[in-house]
Structure 1
């Protein structure tokens, strides 16, 4: 099991570093296949996201991909939004959440496909707006159990004038806030398998480094094409689950 967890950690780390995602949508189903229960799988996934997002944030900070002094406000909003989202989970039916997620993915996919990978407008720098955006995306993170970067990247590119690669990096930075909050909560509830989580977390560091290296090497136009394909895959999988299953 150690080898399987290590390989999974490297793979998920590479996806996280390259696409700027937390990786939970990939990790949890595979952990279920390996025999872990759903709650245990979520705990392991969250622990990996904490370590992976911290490593990614450090690498991007060293590369000066973004200024932490400004984008940290996305994270502050995300913390409070995730709390509200967690409350809404109890109020909304599961099918509503699933269709809502599908609609959001469809919208962001359309915006991303139509947007230019090179900014056509000045980058918006507004701390209160950053907090509001982080809060709004945080609500969906809390409701749907995702890190939020899948929504953050298209919003930053389409509406905020962020370069595509920078938006992807900021999306993973945002995951750091939501995953730490979730990890603290799950640890308090006794739902984290620390041994399995640490194996995945440490091995994911290798993948994170490789994913970010590839992100910096690929041409932005090619990166946009790969990112759009990735979003289409997520959309198809979600739609199949809703319609067929």
Structure 2
């Protein structure tokens, strides 16, 4: 059952796309991640042009992050003030990212840069997740007396100027690292088609010392607006958002997430992180192979993105 994608300018099997959306949605529900860092490479593997895959996946993340942010808002686990500061940095980063995206596309280097960024980020994150989860599994097998609590540590971030009090998170913190973190996520959303939660959540917990109970909701709040802005900017600047593709992926993702959430309750946290780390490394290995593998056709016709 084929369908024509107007922006990608190609005919694809709607069942395959629906299955991809459902599969990544299942993983999203199981692991509590947005899934953009998995979906964009999968779309590229399916021969969707990288420029379209990146911009369209940002559109899909808007829907998933809105649903999650709304649920957290109802539970009172969103720090609006902190989220707004992150959002300011995210919008600035998104503007920068879209400009970089446009220039790389004009230079004909966009596909290569996207693949390299994914290999670097997925390889680093997957390795760290596997190491951390293996250490956690080892610690869980020890007796409670052998596991000493980590001491509260202060870092250089606490000494930065322009401090603001965030009542919900019970923090008195400089806005500088918050703006920088938001900007980084905005750039990644524009160039890689990811929400950036896989970077933002650990950074908020370990660097900014934001309480865990408000981290995910606040992250989703920021990601929702940044990816929405990114989608509009990409559509206006580069015309690379395929609404038909985004809709199919959204429907599959929503259905898959329901089953993934149920499956996630049957595994321990460290087991989930180890499994996700292995999946991330597998995607990284495939992208890395595509970078070094000799293509069957050494020459192709460049039509200038048309």
Distance in 2 (alpha carbons) for counterparts of 1:215 and 1:64: 23
Which moves more between the two structures, 212-221 or 10-19? 212-221
Please, which of 10, 18, 33 is the counterpart of residue 22 of structure 2? 10
Q: Which structure's residues are more often helix, by fraction?
A: 1
Please, which of 69, 81, 93 is the counterpart of residue 93 of structure 2? 81
* Aligned residue number for residue 69 of structure 2: 57
Distance in 2 (alpha carbons) for counterparts of 1:17 and 1:223: 11
* Aligned residue number for residue 8 of structure 2: none
* Aligned residue number for residue 198 of structure 1: 247
Contact 1:55 1:205 in 2 (8 A): no
Please, which of 190, 204, 207 is the counterpart of residue 159 of structure 1? 207
Residue segments in structure 2 that go unaligned for 5+ positions in a row: 1-12, 137-148, 154-168, 295-306
CA shift at 1:164, angstroms? Answer: 7.3
1:225 maps onto 2:237 in alignment: no
Distance in 2 (alpha carbons) for counterparts of 1:143 and 1:178: 13
1:183-206 per-position Cα deviation (integer Å, ceiling 9, x unaligned) = 212433544333443233234223
CA shift at 1:133, angstroms? Answer: 1.1
Alignment CA distance shift 1:220-1:31 (3 Å): closer
Report the number of matched residues.
245
Point out the structure with max Rg over C-alpha.
2
1:17-32 matches, within 5 Å, as: 17-31=29-43
1:84-124 per-position Cα deviation (integer Å, ceiling 9, x unaligned) = 23334437966667555544445545555348879864888
Contact 1:17 1:208 in 2 (8 A): yes
CA shift at 1:51, angstroms? Answer: 1.2
CA shift at 1:180, angstroms? Answer: 0.8
Contact 1:56 1:208 in 2 (8 A): no
Name the TM-score, length of structure 2 as normaliser: 0.60
Q: Which structure's residues are more often strand, by fraction?
A: 2
Residue segments in structure 1 that go unaligned for 5+ positions in a row: none
Which moves more between the two structures, 95-104 or 153-162? 95-104
Name the TM-score, length of structure 1 as normaliser: 0.71
